[in-house]
Amino acid sequence: MGVSYRWVIVAVGALMSCVAIGAMFSLAIFQEPIATATGWSHVGIASAMTLNFIVMGVGGFLWGAASDRFGPRIVVMIGSVLLGLALVLASRAETLLQFQLTYGILVGLAASAFFAPMIAATTAWFDENRGLAVSLVSAGMGVAPMTISPFARWLISAYEWRPAMLIIGIATWVLLVPVALLVRRPPAETADAGTEFAAEAARPQLSKVFRSPQFIVLGLTFFACCAAHSGPIFHMVNYATICGVAPMAAVSIYSVEGLAGLGGRLLYGTLADRIGVKPVLVAGLLVQAGALATYLLVSELTQFYALAIVFGSAYGGVMPLYAVLAREYFGQRIIGTVLGAATMLSSLGMAFGPLIGGWIFDTFANYSWLFIGSAMVGLGAAAIALAFPPLVRQKPQPAVGVTS
């Protein structure tokens, strides 16, 4: 394996994040067809996504710890098989409870098997340009709305929702199982940068890590950031439809957000490598909060497109930065566990948005309070991020006696 193989890891990680997140978030496209065909409530269907995020949070921590111990390949292979199975079973659900359990629990558990393990694998392969590499892996999430969502919409139009979800489940197996075999650990892992935790000769105690100011601020910022944007992302298609946008055009807004998120990841990742992660993160969180408030003023397709570019680039751009911060603060040996724990908190934040948004719509028949509340939470995330402690560098310790 040559140095260039690191870019194979990036490509594999991007594909996996695209398919996994795209399949999970396609529930936003399925929501209205499922409600129409079954009579299930919007809040009931959206609660499956809430379960998704809760289970994804717990699963992310467990999968991240497993990748530290057993390596990423076995973890992503299990996730690939489970994700396809979950979608196939969800397509056969006859009751709302069955759908909530299969889509909400199994899809969330499967989708969580990719982010922390593949980000951890990528950070191990890269020393220079780490922010860009992590952003490229995360960029798969931005590509998802441009690929999986329109594909889901087309399948629903052609075959109705059950066959559409079944086909996506089978396609997940076809795409992810073979590429999982390409995941490798680096021939020689890059050295830790000599941070407070990475410099410890023995494996850092997780109790110390999780009580540290670094992790507390990281976890709370990640939580508030995701709590701010999850509801608007999930309900954007329905919101645009209410404003008079045609259904397929409404899905295209979702796709524009994804394209902007791809560009935002590349831009923010490059800027983080050059000027530092913290100022880029704070700026992105402020832009996200401003964009969320501005959604109260839009009603036409061109306005939705313009704001989708701003919003998508902001929330997409900041997401990979949490992984870079985790690597810089805590080093490589426990990055999967730390990132999994931070992702668990972010998933809990993501869980609130779809459910609260569905309740707001069912109660008020509009989404105004969703965008107001989301903007306020977004400002809170930026305020928390200002409290990140400075990165303390220490002299690297000899490699002798270091456990993996």
CA separation for the pair 60, 109 (Å, rounded)? 8
Choose among 149, 148, 142: nearest CA to 318: 142
Residue 53 pLDDT > 80: no
Choose among 329, 335, 346, 321: nearest CA to 111: 346
Residue 45 pLDDT > 80: yes
3-state secondary structure of 393: strand
Report which DSSP code applies to 185: -
pLDDT the model gives residue 350:
79
Largest CA distance in the chain: 65
**pLDDT tens figures, 206-259:** 778 888 888 999 999 999 999 999 888 888 888 888 888 887 788 788 778 878
Query: Mean pLDDT across the stretch 147-163?
Result: 88
Residue 255 near residue 149 (C-beta atoms within 8 A): yes
3-state secondary structure of 195: strand
User: Per the structure block, which two tokens stand in for 106?
Assistant: 């199994």
Query: Mean pLDDT across the stretch 5-27?
Result: 87
Torsion on CA atoms 66, 72, 78, 81, rounded to nearest 10: 150
Q: How far is CA 46 from CA 131, 350, 359, in A?
A: 33, 12, 9
Which residues lie below 8 Å from residue 146, measured CB to CB, with a gap of 6+? 255, 258, 259, 262
Choose among 322, 226, 304, 200: nearest CA to 265: 322
Residue 134 near residue 320 (C-beta atoms within 8 A): yes
- pLDDT classification of 190: cutoffs 50, 70, 90: low
Concatenated DSSP letters of 271-291: HHHHH-HHHHHHHHHHHHHHH
CA separation for the pair 129, 120 (Å, rounded)? 15
Residue 133 near residue 126 (C-beta atoms within 8 A): yes
Residue 268 pLDDT > 50: yes
Residues of the chain above pLDDT 70, percent: 91
Computed on alpha carbons and rounded to an integer, the radius of gyration of the chain in Å comes to: 20
Burial class (CB in 10 A: 0-12, 13-18, 19+), 13: buried
pLDDT the model gives residue 393:
54
Residue 85 pLDDT > 90: yes
Residue 378 pLDDT > 90: yes
Domains of the chain: 5-385 (1.20.1250.20)
Residue 67 pLDDT > 80: yes
